Copies of this chain bind each other. A is one copy, B any other.
Amino acid sequence: MAASTATATVPGLTVQELDELYKFAVQLGKDAGDKLMEDAKARWGGGSGSNNHSQQEMREKENAVDIVTKTDEEVEAFIKGRIFDRYPDHEFIGEETYSAGSSRQYLVSSSTTTLPTWIVDPLDGTVNYTHNFPMFCVSIGIVVCSVPIIGVIYAPFTDQLFTSCKGKGAWLNETQSLPLVKGAPLPESAPKGCIFSCEWGKDRRDIKDGNMHRKVESFVNMAAEVGGREGKGGMVHGVRSLGSATLDLAYTAMGAFDIWWEGGCWEWIHPPMTPTAYTLWKQASKDVAAGIAILLEAGGLVTTANPPENWETAEVQDVGLGSRLYLAIRPAGDTDKVTKRQAQERVVREVWKRVRELDYARPGA
């Protein structure tokens, strides 16, 4: 790896190297997404509307978990192979990196190495993928010294490509800069007027004051009329659930979602994990590296989902990868009264006021 030059914006990379890395990552995202789509289409019938023999056979042989596991592994191997061909000295974190029984410490170190680390989720939105609902994607993030510098998210079924590179902006389909509407202020009465994005997740235990019930209580607080819920009613403009944390982040970067609240989905699972636990854990530990890279480059804010005790006055800290409890606010514009950061922090507090702390812990934390 060449030493940094005076014009480099990322430690350890020249401007030209960063350009090349970005271009390479974008093409890789497109190619990997195309592979996801090919695999999906192989399960579909043809245009005739008639039954398809090989399809029926496939249905009998494969269940939903098999489909995802096979595609996950194949597309990850494809991505990993391409990266190591071109950048043999880079680090790589993917699904397989967290293999069953291994330590699941968070792997992106804040060490002084300036070698880029690739953080790859070959398939986010796995439930959507098995059901052929378009909200699935490939997610490729590149981190240097713990800072996300490149993000590539490609949703092939809708042909939507979200990309960013530190200092070069965030983009939809490489031509439309993000957010779509520049400088749009956050609503003064937020969360009223906001689209609130959230996910039901996998923890469906019907335990009194358990995570599912805390989540639902939080959703209802955000949705209820102003004045309702003992003053917690937020009357958001809409509640959306797509089933893909990566696309939630992408649409927040785009400005379409004002607020994304993801109460984390880590569960403490002791090794060695059963296959079921491992599957759950893999689904729960999806990467957000690319999404956060794109959101930050677009001007969004990411902080913790769990409200601090002193939520009215606590510092709104930017959180990095691995926190696993995310609250994202869309890019915003300054107004005559407040800066964009002040407006975003105000919305953060309005969300903290209404949501419950969830009880997930990062393995090893």
Interface of A with B (CB < 8 Å)?
Answer: 43-52, 55-56, 59, 64, 127-128, 131-134, 158-160, 169, 175-177, 180-184, 193, 195, 200, 204-206, 212-213, 216, 219-220, 223-225, 227-229, 233, 235, 237-243, 251, 254-258
List B contacts of A51 (CB < 8 A): 182-183
List B contacts of A195 (CB < 8 A): 127-128, 131, 133, 243
Give 8 closest A-B pairs by Cβ, nearest first: A206-B228, A133-B256, A158-B158, A45-B182, A49-B177, A200-B239, A127-B238, A44-B180
List B contacts of A227 (CB < 8 A): 206
CB–CB B59/A184 < 8 A: yes
Nearest chain B CB to A277 CB, angstrom units? 16
Nearest chain B CB to A115 CB, angstrom units? 30
Contact of A177 among B47, B206, B224, B257 (CB under 8 A): B47
* Bound CA span A5–B340, Å: 66
Chain B residue, CB-CB nearest to A237 = B127
CB–CB B206/A225 < 8 A: yes
Contact of A52 among B47, B127, B182, B228 (CB under 8 A): B182
Chain B residue, CB-CB nearest to A184 = B59
CB–CB A212/B220 < 8 A: yes
CB–CB B49/A182 < 8 A: yes
CB–CB A228/B241 < 8 A: no
* Bound CA span A206–B231, Å: 11
Q: Known interface pairs A47-B175, A223-B200. Does A240 touch B238 (Cβ–Cβ under 8 Å)?
A: no
List B contacts of A175 (CB < 8 A): 47
CB–CB A44/B127 < 8 A: no
Chain B residue, CB-CB nearest to A213 = B220
Contacts A46-B177, A216-B216 known; list 10 others, CB within 8 Å: A43-B181, A49-B169, A49-B177, A59-B181, A131-B195, A132-B256, A133-B256, A133-B257, A239-B241, A240-B241
List B contacts of A257 (CB < 8 A): 131, 133
